[in-house]
Structure 1
Amino acid sequence: MAVPKKRTSKSKKKIRNHVWKIKSVEKASKSFSLAQSVLSGCSRSFYYVTERKYFRTN
């Protein structure tokens, strides 16, 4: 038979929510930093194509 689970305490819920928010803030700050370095042209850890050359194949 199915048995109902115990209720999670408010403190555990707040801790989990806080950890989730901290992770999202860290990811956002890293991505913003990477975007700034790419736009300024000072990126050393990210490779990207600056010019596209198109080749015709017949």
Structure 2
Amino acid sequence: MAVPKKRTSRSKKNFRKNIWKRKGYWAALKAFSLAKSLLTGNSKSFFVRQTNK
């Protein structure tokens, strides 16, 4: 027979939510940093083909 689970405390819920938000923050920061380095041409991890105009 199914039994209802105990309620998760607010502090535990907020702790998990903050971890989830922090992951998104660091991913956005890395993407922005990579975009800046590609724009300035200082990227060491990407090789972008330059077009001569």
TM-score (norm 1): 0.77
With a CA cutoff of 8 Å and minimum separation of 6, indicate the structure with the bigger relative contact order. Answer: 2
Q: Which has the larger radius of gyration?
A: 1
Gaps of 5+ in 2: none
More helix by share: 2
Percent of paired sites with the same residue: 55
Provide the TM-score with structure 2 as the length reference.
0.83
CA-based RMSD: 1.2
- Following TM superposition, the consecutive aligned residue runs of length 4 or more in structure 1 with deviations greater than 3 angstroms are 48-51
In structure 1, runs of 5+ residues without a counterpart are: 52-58
